[in-house]
Amino acid sequence: MERHFSSLQDFVDDSSMWLGKGAVAVVLIEDDVEVDTTLRHHMHLGFQTVLALMPPRIDLPRDLQVTVWRIDYDMAQDGAMETAINSVIQAAPGRWIYYCYNSEYLFFPFCETRTVGEMLAFHAEERRDAMLTYVVDLYADDLNTYPNAVSLDNAHLDRSGYYAAARDGEGGPKERQLNFFGGLRWRFEEHVPYTRRKIDRISLFKAEAGLTLHEDHTFNVEEYNTFACPWHNNLTAAVCSFRTAKALKANPGSNFDIDTFKWHNSAPFEWHSRQLLDLGLIEPGQWF
């Protein structure tokens, strides 16, 4: 059976049709780059329900048409990301939700041998309802061969250059909240608006009534925006993403200024959580 909603509202209205068990992955599809690999990667991680919000013009392979819930959606409209995710929150209270864009791939500690459900079960036992993820930029090594900066076989990442700064609140720095920076948004910051330079997202969270995601990838419930509980470090994950590299090469203002994304701290991406753990880009917390 093909799984297809013609609008976001139809999807929300018929939530009982698609809402099964387990965590929900929401993939926001902006273009036709690596759509199928993004969806398959998250299905392989163990997400029981995968939603693809995408323009009608983009086709899905036949096998994904019967395994993924497709929702016709225009990602170019203002507020598209937060409108979509807040609609899913409304439709799936009490469920763990993950979101990303196409050409982005979730990695968490030991994901090669453990499912996302196992990881979230442990995280919930630590009384955590959200998980910090870092958006780790990926980019092709040769932009002449791969002009859109995307190559799964020749992907690279920055192995250093990441840092954190205090997140200001009304009475001073917010408790257990930081803004994280690094990757291509740091190295090519002159081409990136200031409000879009941080690389932290709360990509995994438990939906609840009244929860709202903001444009800057933070929530209206402050505890959701924290990187750890008060008593010890918690699990963190990474969203390995070609999205910034794609944007820098697609934007006329930056395309001709960038001949390569490689520098002395580039390293081939190994598509394995061990590399991210070794680089300190994800944290196992108390999960061994």
pLDDT score at 198:
95
Contact 14, 44 (CB under 8 A): no
159 burial via Cβ count (<10 Å: 0-12, 13-18, 19+): middle
Give the confidence band of 2 by pLDDT, cuts at 50, 70, 90.
low
C-alpha distances in angstroms, 110 versus 116, 125, 189, 203, 287?
Answer: 10, 18, 32, 18, 10
Closest CA relative to residue 199, chosen from 184, 211, 214: 184
Domain ranges of the chain: 1-102, 104-288
Please give the Cα distance from 54 to 257 (Å, whole number). Answer: 31
In this predicted model, what pLDDT tens digit does every residue of 171-205 receive, in sequence order?
789 999 999 999 999 999 999 998 899 999 999 99
This prediction has a pTM of 0.95
Task: Reply yes or no on whether the pLDDT at 251 is more than 80.
Answer: yes
pLDDT score at 142:
96
pLDDT score at 22:
87
Across the range 81-98, mean pLDDT stands at 94
Contact 40, 14 (CB under 8 A): no
pLDDT score at 71:
95
Please give the Cα distance from 90 to 208 (Å, whole number). Answer: 8
For the chain, give the number of residues. Answer: 288
pLDDT score at 234:
93
Provide the 8-state DSSP code for 195. G
In this predicted model, what pLDDT tens digit does every residue of 119-177 receive, in sequence order?
999 999 999 999 999 999 999 999 999 999 999 999 999 999 999 999 988 878 999 99
Q: Per CATH, which fold does 1-102 belong to?
A: Rossmann fold (3.40.50)
Residues 53-79, buried b or exposed e (16+ Cβ, 10 A)? bbeeeeebeeebeeebbbbbbebeeee
- DSSP, collapsed to helix, strand or coil, labels residue 177 as strand
pLDDT score at 168:
87
